Structure 1
């Protein structure tokens, strides 16, 4: 059994707490949280600490805080030569204080509080300085996920950028679509079957082969009709940029 201390109480930390508590192979020793009430609904209060000096010994210390806080938190840990990992997709492993052994435990998913996820389907990307430590975090990862992979910091950065495109940017486009619907007294619900079908298609097709629409056809008449319809300049510029990108892709074929 691997013993773990989680440091953090945000979205990622809360989902990891829930996942680890369901594993018979993990002992969740403690959770460090400055606001104990943030995680008190997940774990008993006697396992929540807000003072670094109270952190107990464990096989693995998992820092799940915002990217700009990782370095500072790692310097405040009151011990040396223990295995400490962070969960960031964009920060290098070396951001962690070198007084401890370094690693990365990156679950590739969008997390929202109170929105359950199936951790078994979530890819967990791992990195460690030494093979022994990698084996430890690999063991932990495999207790909660069926998709575990070793990747470098540079690969993880690339994956995180790609994730921003396919998740965060796409969700922003959903927001724009919702705004257009609301402005024209339409329900966004009408678009949901289209959204689901579009997402499901890339399970079987490459994004390139799944692409449809006026830009794919280089249908200038429809494109100009859409641009004339849009009154919001920001929406218009996004439409132009994405349309150009799709048309340019077609020219490469």
Structure 2
């Protein structure tokens, strides 16, 4: 059985903790967070602590904190000959500053504490310095998910950028669409089947073959009508995306 300690209490740490507590192949020995109050809910399920000096002896220590804190936080760990990994998509493995063995355990998913996720479908990208540590991370990953990928730091950086485009930016566009609907008292529910169809379509088509709309058709009349309804900020985003689409499909504005 793999012994694991989670360091952190954010969204990723919360969901990973919830999963590992039910995992029959893993023993979640302990959860650390500098604010003990945030992990008090776990005190009857596993050991909790707010002191790095009280960390137990585990096989894998998973740092699940904000990206910009990983380097400094890891430098405080005294875990020689232990495997310490982080869960960041945008942070290189060598940014871990502990005197330990290093690795990465990146779950490619958007996490919110209020929403449950099916871990068996989440892609997990792993990286380690040694073959032995890689095999250990792979064993842990397989106990959680059916989708495991070996991805190095450079590849993961590109993957994280791609994830920002397909997740964070797309969600911001949902927000703008919601704003536009609210301005004219239109229910955003009307757009949800369209949103789902657009997402489902790329499960069997390449995105470049799934594109539709006035920008692809270079329908300038419709494009200009749309702009008259938009705020200056919305117009800027609309124009930028329209130019990118028309350029992709060989047309010019």
Superposed pair shares fold, TM > 0.5: yes
Secondary structure of 2:202 counterpart: helix
Secondary structure of 1:28 counterpart: strand
Deviation, 1:39, is 2.9
* 2:248 is the counterpart of 1:249: yes
Secondary structure of 1:144 counterpart: coil
Q: Distance in 1 between matches of 2:224 and 2:217?
A: 13
Deviation, 1:184, is 0.8
Deviation, 1:34, is 1.8
Q: Distance in 1 between matches of 2:102 and 2:76?
A: 15
Q: Distance in 1 between matches of 2:43 and 2:114?
A: 15
Please list every run of 5 or more consecutive structure 2 residues that lacks an aligned counterpart in the other structure.
Answer: none
Secondary structure of 2:4 counterpart: strand
Contact kept? 2:74, 2:96, Cα under 8 Å: yes
Can you list the C-alpha shifts for 1:163-196, whole angstroms capped at 9, x where unaligned?
0000000000000000001111111111111111
Q: Distance in 1 between matches of 2:222 and 2:43?
A: 55
Instruction: Give the 3 Å change call, closer, same or farther, for CA 10–98 of structure 1 in structure 2.
Output: closer
In the alignment, which residue of structure 1 is the partner of 2:20? 20
Q: Distance in 2 between matches of 1:47 and 1:156?
A: 32
Can you list the C-alpha shifts for 1:90-118, whole angstroms capped at 9, x where unaligned?
00000112510000000000000121000
In the alignment, which residue of structure 2 is the partner of 1:142? 142
| Residue correspondences, number | 251
* 2:161 is the counterpart of 1:161: yes
Q: Distance in 2 between matches of 1:97 and 1:20?
A: 26
In the alignment, which residue of structure 1 is the partner of 2:233? 234
* 2:212 is the counterpart of 1:212: yes
Q: Distance in 1 between matches of 2:46 and 2:242?
A: 55
Alignment of 1:15-54 (within 5 A): 15-42=15-42, 44=44, 47-54=47-54
Secondary structure of 2:226 counterpart: helix
Q: Distance in 1 between matches of 2:198 and 2:236?
A: 23
Alignment of 1:182-193 (within 5 A): 182-193=182-193
In the alignment, which residue of structure 1 is the partner of 2:102? 102
Deviation, 1:234, is 0.7
Contact kept? 1:18, 1:42, Cα under 8 Å: no
Deviation, 1:38, is 2.1
Deviation, 1:77, is 1.3
Contact kept? 1:14, 1:39, Cα under 8 Å: no
Q: Distance in 2 between matches of 1:196 and 1:41?
A: 35
Contact kept? 2:78, 2:98, Cα under 8 Å: no
Secondary structure of 2:249 counterpart: helix
Please list every run of 5 or more consecutive structure 1 residues that lacks an aligned counterpart in the other structure.
Answer: none
Can you list the C-alpha shifts for 1:12-39, whole angstroms capped at 9, x where unaligned?
0001001111210000000001223323
Q: Distance in 2 between matches of 1:47 and 1:77?
A: 18
Q: Distance in 2 between matches of 1:164 and 1:237?
A: 19
Secondary structure of 1:186 counterpart: coil
Q: Distance in 1 between matches of 2:41 and 2:217?
A: 52
Secondary structure of 1:39 counterpart: helix
